[in-house]
Amino acid sequence: MSTAMNFGSKTFKPRPPDKGSFPLDHFGECKAFKEKFMKCLRENNYDNSMCRLQSKDYLECRMDHQLMTKEPLEKLGFKDLMDPPPSQAGKDNKA
Amino acid sequence: MLLPLLLRPPLCLPQASAVLTRCVRMLRCGAPRGLHSQAKNFLWQWRPQRHQARGRSRKTQSQEEEWRNRNKTALTYIAAAGVGMIGLAYAAVPLYRLYCQATGLGGTAVAGHDTEQVAMMTPVKERVIKVTFNADTHASMQWNFRPQQTEIFVVPGETALAFYRAKNPTDKPIIGISTYNVVPFDAGQYFNKIQCFCFEEQRLNPHEEVDMPVFFYIDPEFDNDPRMARVDTITLSYTFFEAKEGQKLPLPGYSYS
């Protein structure tokens, strides 16, 4: 770990997050979305790719309640989940 | 016992050793001549050399001057080299840092790590990586801090969300501040957090429980790195410390440059 006392060994350098820190959700406003996301993870054997829609919903909730700075979702890596044409809505859910 | 020591000629003084050996031989043979006369003989051997030295003194004066000059130039060269080395030692620090950034050695953040990349990157679907989560608190920190999922399967190039939960079981508000660690080290440079709860003070009121999300992704370059070919598991470990009022954790300075 980073406390290894070897001289000259590589040490881990933590980096600050790109967009800073999440403010704490003291009132549990987005708890429901979080529960949906966790449920999805448990059902899909903790595979993140299957639950991207739920994670997108959670982040959107945060943005709506001022718990996160508003950003276009493409910048958060949800380009493939964005506003597909209505006919393809069902097919594009699987990222 | 001492005789062999005396007989062994010392390397720097061959003349002295010659005198000594002769002395010893004399003592052994039982000296038909007196010691006094022997001593006179030896002294005569020493004296002429001294006379010769005085005769040559004028000639060697210019030689000595030349030697002094040569010594001076040699000394100045050596001094310059010494100063040069000290300067190099000081210059090595930023140079090494530049070198590390250029080659990406030692886990330093490779430049070109920006938000545009998040929008543009495509997930590498074939490479599934398991990310395990670990939560720790400092000994004096009274929060209950644990991850809400033990592991999650992600692919490089895809953003992922994970949750930790923290509860303050005490009757007074506690401010915590956290830092993280990624194992294996080399994978740490590919592990990018878009947003998390670290490095800033987080205040929990008495008996309050919150969910703490971490939004991250693994750089798609991860798949192209030969050193990462056998890495299938990455462990993200957070540790919470108690923060004193108004104290700020110094952000790691080198990682900004």
How do residues B179-225 score in pLDDT, each as one tens digit? 888 888 888 888 888 888 888 888 888 998 998 999 988 888 888 88
Is B197 in the same domain as B123? yes
Does any domain span residue A60? yes
Does any domain span residue A65? yes
Q: Per the CB < 8 Å rule, is B107 touching A12?
A: yes
Is B215 in the same domain as B127? yes
- The pLDDT value given to residue B2: 62
* Tokens describing residue A30: 């987005």
CA-nearest residue to B199 within chain A is A16
- The pLDDT value given to residue B122: 81
Q: Which of A25, A45, A48, A56 to mutate to test the interface with B (most CBs of B within 10 A)?
A: A48
Q: Per the CB < 8 Å rule, is B115 touching A26?
A: no
Most distant pair of Cα atoms in chain B: their distance: 112
- How many domains does chain A contain in total? 1
Does any domain span residue B90? no
**pLDDT over threshold 60, residue B255:** no
Q: Does B121 touch chain A (CB under 8 A)?
A: yes
Q: Does A8 touch chain B (CB under 8 A)?
A: no
Question: What is the predicted ipTM?
Answer: 0.76
- The pLDDT value given to residue B124: 81
Q: What is the pTM of this model?
A: 0.60
Is B28 in the same domain as B115? no
Q: Per the CB < 8 Å rule, is A58 touching B252?
A: no
Of B37-41, B44-48, B139-143, where does the model show the most confidence?
A: B139-143
> Closest partner residue to A38 among B148, B183, B203, by Cβ?
B148
Average pLDDT, chain B: 79
Q: Per the CB < 8 Å rule, is B181 touching A12?
A: yes
Is B8 in the same domain as B117? no
**pLDDT over threshold 70, residue B55:** no
- The pLDDT value given to residue B35: 73
Is B222 in the same domain as B127? yes
Q: Per the CB < 8 Å rule, is B254 touching A46?
A: no
**pLDDT over threshold 70, residue B11:** no
- Domain range for B22 is 2-64
Does any domain span residue B29? yes
With contacts defined as CB-CB under 8 Å, which chain B residues touch A16? 198-199, 251-252, 255
- How many domains does chain B contain in total? 2
**pLDDT over threshold 80, residue B76:** yes
Q: Which residues contact B17 (CB under 8 A, 6 or more apart)?
A: B8, B9, B10
Does any domain span residue A17? no
Q: Nearest CA of chain B to the CA of A14: how many Å?
A: 7
Does any domain span residue B15? yes
d(CA B41, CA A59): 108
d(CA A46, CA B148): 11
Does any domain span residue B256? no
- The pLDDT value given to residue B193: 87
- Split at pLDDT 50, 70, 90, the class of A88 is very low
- Domain range for A37 is 30-69
Q: What percent of chain B has pLDDT over 70?
A: 70
**pLDDT over threshold 60, residue B253:** no
- The pLDDT value given to residue A94: 42
* Tokens describing residue A19: 């967009």
* Tokens describing residue B244: 């004193």
Does any domain span residue B14? yes
- The pLDDT value given to residue B203: 87
Does any domain span residue B170? yes
In contact, B201 and B176? CB cutoff 8 Å: yes
How do residues A47-73 score in pLDDT, each as one tens digit? 888 888 888 888 888 888 888 888 888
Is B109 in the same domain as B227? yes
Q: Nearest CA of chain B to the CA of A11: how many Å?
A: 8
- The pLDDT value given to residue A50: 87
Least confident range from A76-80, B3-7, B67-71, B117-121: namely B3-7
Residues 13-52 of chain A whose Cβ lies under 8 A from any Cβ of chain B: 13-22, 24-26, 28, 31, 34, 37-38, 41, 45-49, 52
